Amino acid sequence: MYSATKNFFRRVLSAMSSSPVNFSLVVAASEDNGIGLNNNLPWRIPPDQVWFKRVTSRIPKDAVEDDTGSVKQNAVIMGRLTWESVPVKMRPLSGRVNIILSRNPDYLNATPYPPNSVILASSLPSALSLVDPSRHPRTYIVGGAQIYREALAHPGCEHILLTRVHTRVECDTFLPDLESDPRFRRTAHDELVRFAGEEVPEGIQTYKGTEYEFMMYSRVDGGEEMAR
């Protein structure tokens, strides 16, 4: 299986274009930018989990099929702790190529996964170098905090899909404040709808007393041109 995975890497690298890979962040954060507690989500909002799966799995309509007719899947990039916070029965995230960041080259060797579904990378730049836009139309960074901070500073970061949790909760891990970051602006709701390719509930929503809102921020400081 690992020989097949290595061959897959070679095909990916040979097919890559010279243009940089653009990507988006997907994150839920409280009003004071808290995103986690004890390496877990400090809230349970099933509609947000459904949104996460849909938006990270959806292939844009304008994604052009390559000559091989290969199946396209978006890529999700996450740190080791985020990967370990996913229930074992849910790994890997289905319908997406999972790229896990770890400096341990043997980290994934103990567990067999379907070929080409889970890829190991030592850093965010190396993870992005494994993305082939012809096969992975969109790339998403999905945690954790250190990866988010590095991704926000990267010129390829185009969008932040933020679920703002308006109910106060205890957190010990935080996202940088987007409102005070001049590189990004909050977009109008219809821009979020266009990016998502589907209707997105507008305004504050409520699930069992927890208030939340779907938002999008986009880069405005001359970062990479929006691909889609």
pLDDT of residue 183: 96
Question: Which range is least confidently modeled, 104-113, 140-149, 153-162?
Answer: 104-113
pLDDT > 70 in the chain, percent: 86
Element (H, E) at 53: helix 46-57
pLDDT at 116: 86
In whole angstroms, give the CA distance from residue 58 to residue 66: 17
Q: Among the listed ranges 22-31, 58-67, 180-189, which one has the minimum average pLDDT value?
A: 58-67
According to DSSP, residue 89 is labeled G
Per-residue confidence at 63, pLDDT binned at 50, 70, 90?
Answer: confident
pLDDT (mean) for 212-216 = 99
Confidence at residue 168, expressed as pLDDT on a 0 to 100 scale: 87
Report how far residue 147's alpha carbon sits from residue 163's, in angstroms, rounded to the nearest whole number. 18
What would the mean pLDDT of 66-95 be, rounded to a whole number? 90
> Is the link from the previous residue into 144 a cis peptide, with omega within 30 of 0?
yes
DSSP state, residue 223: -
Whole-angstrom Cα distance, residue 35 to residue 43?
9
Task: Give, as one character, the DSSP assignment of residue 173.
Answer: E
pLDDT, position 184? 98
Please tell me the CATH superfamily of domain 23-62+70-98+136-219, with its number.
Dihydrofolate Reductase, subunit A (3.40.430.10)
Instruction: Return d(Cα 12, Cα 2) in angstroms, integer.
Output: 15
Nearest in space to 26 (alpha carbons), one of 46, 59, 55: 55
pTM: 0.87
pLDDT digits (tens, 9 = 90+) for 15-50: 444 457 999 999 999 999 999 999 999 999 999 999
pLDDT for 69 equals 66
Q: Give the integer Cα–Cα distance in Å for 45 and 224.
A: 32
Question: How high is the mean pLDDT of the chain?
Answer: 89
Boundaries of every domain in the chain: 23-62+70-98+136-219
pLDDT of residue 165: 98
Which range is least confidently modeled, 4-18, 57-71, 93-107, 203-217?
A: 4-18
